[in-house]
Amino acid sequence: MDFSPIYNQVFTMLWYFVPLALLIALTKSPWFKGYIGEVMVNLAAKLMLDKKQYHLIKNVTLPTEDGTTQIDHIIVSRFGVFVIETKNMKGWIFGSTNQSYWTQQIFKHKSKFQNPLRQNYKHVKTLQAALEVDPSHFHSLIVFVGDSTFKTDMPENVTYAGGYIRFIKSRQDAVLSDALVRLIIQKIERGRLTHSIKTHVEHAKHVQAIVEQKGSEPSCPKCSSPMVLREAKKGQNIGKKFWGCSQFPKCRAVMQKAS
């Protein structure tokens, strides 16, 4: 009996379903969600802010005294320098300014993630030191995108989706001259590291080293959730300790544990 027609049908089905399965897995990954969040913030800025007055700089990695820091978006204008951290999350969000970790709740499941205000604090301080501009001219902004709802009162600089545009436009006092705006943009472009996989990997290693030096659990470099100390059960690393994301299997990020 000739099974060739059956094999051909199976192969044809796989030809369609395998790429589809890969695409579905990609769209559910933390990396893709983060990327989509950044795209939404970029699009809102391009459509709703005057390009002649507001200058958007994306994905900036800057060197620091102890390594690097990554900034999602910087918007430079005569009305100040806006430093933006993006979070693509769903569910209920609980948090306050002074908490180290905030809570995400989806139905009955709760998980912790690093307070984004604290995360963005270092970004702002790094820029202030690099640009030598009055600290009062910098604004830290946290932008949540995705199907999420704030269940606690948030400060005005923690917004949902396009709310960050309203925050930026509410600053109407010109505090920087046109010449200084141009100089700030030039300094950022000259000082940023090349946007590449190598830069991202080195930054992730830097984050790991800092947290382990503090003796506390690190935050996931992909989704900012707390990491959990685990032990390899098989393979060549059996018995070795490593940090794994607490959101596994949704997020499969891992980091080596410093010896």
Instruction: Please state the domain count of the chain.
Output: 2
Same-domain check for residues 123 and 161:
yes
- Where do we find the tokens 């990554």? 70
Q: Which two tokens stand for residue 47?
A: 């459509």
Cβ 134 vs Cβ 78: under 8 Å? no
Kindly state whether residues 151 and 245 are assigned to the same domain. Answer: no
Same structural domain for residues 202 and 174? no
Per-residue pLDDT, 13: 54
pLDDT single digits (tens) 140-190: 999 998 889 999 999 999 998 888 999 999 999 999 999 999 999 999 999
Give me the domain span that covers residue 72. 29-195
10-residue stretch averages of pLDDT, the chain, 259 residues long: 54 54 50 61 85 92 80 95 92 91 91 91 90 93 92 94 91 95 94 60 48 56 71 77 77 71
In Å, the largest CA–CA distance within the chain is 83
Angle CA(251)–CA(254)–CA(259) in degrees, nearest 5?
160
Give 37's contacts (C-beta < 8 A, 6+ positions apart): 86, 87, 88, 143, 145, 146
